[in-house]
Amino acid sequence: MQEHIVNHPDHRDVTLQSIDDYGRQLMKAIEGLGIEEARWMPTPRSNHILWILWHIGRMEDMWGWYLRGGGDSAWVEGGWANRLGIDHKRNGAGDSIAQVRDFPDLTVEEVAEYWQVARNLLISSVEQISTPMLHIKRPGIWTHAPNRAPTLLWVLGRLPVENGQHTGQIAYIRGLYSSKSIK
């Protein structure tokens, strides 16, 4: 994990500290994760860890892309959609349980590598957001709902909340999996 040295703290440092924090927690939560455990679904309508890990990467990639105002993403331009064999339009939001269940046969390492590439782009994007930019909305690239395009400030706050929750879900599913094997 990348540590951020803060001389004159501002909004970026709070977001970057949060990203570092849940990133460390996520690495701990997936440490030693085998493929059977990664694809285990606690109920027939639950997400599995591998899908959640991919979704975290997609969210970091998508929000970094939004913060930059478009341009390259790890997912499309970086070739990860093709490499992982997942439709380039998907990000996990709105996926059906069938899409979760039919997630491609990927290793934990492949999905974690995509997450790390997306994370690196996100971190550099956050570092570029100055205080005068916080009010900016990008309706031109928020094409599915341009009238509801979020501010960059909202995105900086949303990132650690959403992905911190998903990191907790991964840790919780691992706990459920390990307790299932104790019975």
Question: pLDDT value at position 72?
Answer: 92
Domain ranges of the chain: 21-182
Provide the pLDDT for residue 4: 56
What CA–CA distance (Å, rounded) separates 109 from 14?
29
Chain centroid offset of residue 162 CA: 8
pLDDT of 180? 79
The CATH label, of 1.20.120.790, 1.10.3720.10, 1.20.120.450, 3.40.30.10, for the domain at 21-182 is: 1.20.120.450
114 within 8 A of 57, measured Cβ to Cβ:
yes
Tens-place pLDDT, residues 95-113 = 999 999 999 999 999 999 9
Point out the residues of the chain with pLDDT beneath 50. none
Sign of CA dihedral 47, 48, 49, 52: negative
